Structure 1
Amino acid sequence: MLTFLVRRLLLMVVTLFAISLVSFFVVSLPPGDYVSTLEAQAEARGELMSDGELAALRARYGLDQPFFAQYWKWITNIVLHGDFGQAFAWNGRPVSDLIWDRVGLSFFLSVSTLLFVWAIAFPIGILSAVRQYSAGDYLATFFGFVGMAVPEFMLALLFMYVGMRYFGQSPGGLFSPEYQDAAWNLGKLLDLASHMWLPVLIIGMSGTAGLIRITRANLLDELYKPYVVAARAKGLPEWKLLLKYPVRMSLSPFFSTVGWLLPGLISGETIISIVMSLPTTGPLLLGGVENQDMYLVGSFVLILSTLTVVGTLISDLMLAWWDPRIRYRYEGK
């Protein structure tokens, strides 16, 4: 197991280096740069920027340097100093400040959604498998198909229309106007909780529906295996048999993908955040792409890639801990 862990850590370093190089290259691919975006915006307002102004801006942001010089400066500052560079469109504000200002809300929203999905999906999925072809199973199946088929942004638009049409207020945002710029206190926290339930419901809809289907299918695959039949023949109580053996084994696919949730905790749901005006990291990333802000977008991609690689490692370790068969395979037994 230790050899496996060391090998994976070394591969992580190489993978992250390759990801950082490719992501920085992809961000630099579109024609022009941030200064070109500024020039186009000025022309749209009927203003003209001189060649001297454009050259001075490119020199200020280091955009006049070759690609590898820009990349090397960016990646070495991250590794040695934890400096992700400056965000061009935010008056040179540090990228790390912009990202971490919104990470808290994104993290809170994602964790709340995750707990909501688990609390709803696992019991329904287990009940649907145990009571196969019952009315509850058909209802859960119908909900699963509808939840996976309906786009989340459509649900958000529907709730916003209903809120404006029948209640005279938009359910968008995470705070009331009086708490928007207020310092954190108990009132602001309660106001956040009162606005949080709707985004959690909308974002968690498809995740709940999908996890119900996965849990049901995995459990049905385990319920009729010989070891379950043998345990039932020994007189083990049905509920104890269910929880001790088939439910445990059916959760292996869940552990194999739980690490993928790490990048989701930071990235959040970009489209939902834009539709509902949520101050999370998703709209910030979209704004960076629109402005060709290579340091902001490159830092986002690097952070999300790092979380994905680390999450995959965590999934592998959790799966080896949960399922002894996989652990023995890692250890070469």
Structure 2
Amino acid sequence: MYGLKKQMNRITGSQALLLIISILVAVIIFSIASPGFLAFSSFTTIIETVAIIMILSFGQTFMLTAGEWDISVGSLLSVPTVVIAVLLQSQFSMLSASIIGFLITVLLCLISAVLTVIVKIPSFIATLGVNGIAMGLSRIIANNNPIKVEDKALLNIFGGQINFGPYMIPVVIMWIAIMFFAAIILMNRTQIGRNIQCVGDNRNAAILYGINVNKTIIITFIINAVFIFFAAMIMVSRSTFATPGEGESYTLSAIVAAIIGGTSIQGGKGSIKGAFLGAFFVGCISYGLFRLSVNAWTGGIIAGIVIIIVLSISSLNQKRKFEMERS
């Protein structure tokens, strides 16, 4: 009987299941209210809309799992895009410009990491400082003006489309799949992923296990930088402009997607699958409200209320699960 109760509790308390049910409910409601919502094009539009948030949420999942915060990701998005745009205008090749843009992104994330593990500044504060640096740096490099990106190879690699029978599949879906499976393997199938979870769960225990905590946190920041860079490439390929400050609004959305997906803000527990579902849920709500011609301000209020409800249900489920496991 106890085993059955525990199994049922695991199922009903599953964050992924809760999100899947929430997505299905949203799809049913929006399909009734807007008959064309179930079209294949709606699915690809939602994915394209939340692609940047989704990829950023993978990086945020690693950060939160390690017990760290990064609130600079939105500002960091603009840095590699303006760097690459300026270098392309200076006749650099796409590959060399991309490598330089990537290295600068990693360097900025390493500044946050060093401030966190060596100077012992809380990551929330360290990344707040780097957020300001990134904001100013992108504006200085671009002279606070959008820069047109005309490199066809870059735009096609990150923003093109693939002919798949009668459908045109956005390349961004392929990139999301690559990032998704790479993140799952890294989090669940590698030693560094297990180290990140252990460090976030209990740092004293991690030290006793022989884990180099500082090294693990630094690696976590680097992993986050990789996701930031690819999200930035998708962002610039969609707009074809490198615009200073363009990504600053994505930070909160990426963190919310990770938390909705079941990643603990206390650290030690993270779900890449949950982050994917969380971002898709947010996108589903936003796109559905857009199809219903709900204005942005009202839509923001409705989306916020729905997210709070989902998080509240999740919190109650986790509390009930904890109490039942203790009984």
Q: Common fold, TM-score beyond 0.5?
A: no
TM-score bracket, shorter-length normalisation:
0.3 to 0.5
TM-score by length of 1: 0.32
Larger Rg: 1
| Higher RCO (CA < 8 A, seq sep 6+) | 2
TM-score by length of 2: 0.33
